[in-house]
Amino acid sequence: MDLGSAPITLFPLHTRRNALKRFFALLATCAMLLGLTALFSPQAAAATGCRVDYTVTSQWQGGFQAGVKITNLGDPITGWTLKFTLPDAGQKVVQGWNATWSQSSGPTVTAVGADWNRTLATGASTDLGFVGSFTGSNPKPTAFTLNDVVCTGSVDGGGEEPPPVPGTNTPVSVNGQLHVCGVNLCNQYNRPIQLRGMSTHGIQWFSKCYNNASLDALAEDWKSDLFRVAMYVQEQGYETDPAGFTSRVNSLVDMAEARGMYAVIDFHTLTPGDPNYNLDRAKTFFASVAARNADKKNVIYEIANEPNGVSWTAIKNYAEQVIPVIRAADPDAVVIVGTRGWSSLGVSDGSDESEIVANPVNATNIMYAFHFYAASHKDNYRTTVSRAASQLPLFVSEFGTVSATGGGAVDRASSIAWLDLLDRLKISYANWTYSDANEGSAAFRPGTCNGSDYSSSGVLTESGALIKSRISTADNFPTS
């Protein structure tokens, strides 16, 4: 999802993108202008204080990954600098995201806000993170300051505390390593299963929505089986900071694993629509994340979100070059391949699944993506899925309850018809979007991600309430 330019009557999955692309471009321009303004006006300081929540999300021999949540308790600020001290001489920041990170030869670490999160209203929060190394002990940082004001709020987590251990009866503990059998997604008992869950919005825009509280809610209250991490490649995404975005994706994979959920790593290509434009980036990215996550049982790779304006032959060529890169490091994980017409099996281009059936990707353990938006894509799309599901392994890695613009009213009747169909066919799905974006597809009301409640009726949109009610029902995964 989420940016594009063709009219719905011709290209239903594409229309929602141009308006939103212009919107986010305007935001980026405003941020740039604010940055220029900052050159001529003093940086506003937090008047009464701040809070920092520090959590180690994973730790290994000589290294760790940490999340840092800043909450402004004072006056609104435009432009911020966070500083803290690493107590042990062997602790170093290797790389970070959602800020510009630096560390001198001493123990002081500095993080300067990015264009898109540099403004913090009173009570507002933003989430940062970094990968660090250590040679001795790994105690938690001290002396947090925001614009030179001491942060007296709580500091959660400790440098030596491991991430939570997944409980029993979680989706991953029950099903283990997944694989494709026939046209189905199957578990370790070789039985067909259906995963139901949520997709992030672009992690470059809605990072604050993906933290310990929100993932706890997703796993425990929503009873979600999977968490799709939408990493845009363009649109201010991966291409702007490959190391930072790769680390952020890995962090979210770890957070899903710690809660027993499957994680779909989505290489969210959208503009341009030909995935071959990002072929080299894809090889670099997937070589890295596959090597790093090869021993995990919860990872699914989605190699091209919504190919558009391109032939199936070109998409197939891309897939057959990227999949071997993944297989070299992780031979067992399921791979999802995008399809023509914004992953509509070609329906939005006036085609159908027959071109894939006649010329499938030359690889094993793969599934084909299908995306829909319920208010725009109805009977003819459902008919295609019903027919294709008997010949192709399908995975609905993204869908919305609203129109293809990502906005508008929830179409309950069409949404329920789609969900009933997917349940009947045991097709797994991820709903767009687990965010508080100001659009109809969002699960949360605007501003929700500034707080800690991600489940109550007071924070859910109509779409969020509908999807939560569907995915929180019992899975009843077969084990024999």
What the chain holds in terms of domains, given with CATH numbers, is 50-150 (2.60.40.290), 164-471 (3.20.20.80)
- Pick the more confident residue, 106 or 439: 439
- Among candidate residues 387, 383, 401, 389, the one with its CA nearest the CA of residue 443: 401
- Among candidate residues 95, 124, 97, the one with its CA nearest the CA of residue 113: 97
Side chain identity at residue 74, one-letter code: G
- Residue with token string 């329906």: 347
> Which residues are the active-site residues?
306, 398
- At residue 347, does pLDDT exceed 60? yes
Q: Report pLDDT for 42.
A: 35
- At residue 323, does pLDDT exceed 50? yes
- Residue with token string 């957070």: 255
Q: Report pLDDT for 168.
A: 66
Q: Report pLDDT for 114.
A: 85
Where does the pLDDT of residue 104 fall: very low under 50, low under 70, confident under 90, or very high at 90 and above?
A: confident
- Pick the more confident residue, 26 or 179: 179
How many angstroms separate the CA atoms of 263 and 240, rounded? 23
- Among candidate residues 143, 38, 24, the one with its CA nearest the CA of residue 438: 24
Q: Look at residue 98 and give its three-state secondary structure.
A: coil
- Which residues make Cβ contacts (< 8 Å) with residue 322, sequence separation at least 6? 279, 282, 283, 286, 303, 304
Q: What mean pLDDT is predicted for residues 301-327?
A: 98
Q: Report pLDDT for 24.
A: 43
Whether the pTM exceeds 0.75: the reply is no
Q: How does pLDDT run across 154-174, given as a tens digit for each residue?
A: 444 433 344 445 556 899 999
**Angle separating helix axes 312-329 and 279-293, nearest 10 degrees:** 30
Cβ burial of 172 (10 Å; 0-12, 13-18, 19+) is buried
Q: Report pLDDT for 384.
A: 98
Q: How does pLDDT run across 369-425, given as a tens digit for each residue?
A: 999 999 999 999 999 999 999 999 999 999 999 999 899 999 999 999 999 999 999
- At residue 16, does pLDDT exceed 60? no
How many angstroms separate the CA atoms of 352 and 410, rounded? 26
Asked if 442 and 461 touch (Cβ cutoff 8 Å), the reply is yes
Asked if 51 and 144 touch (Cβ cutoff 8 Å), the reply is no
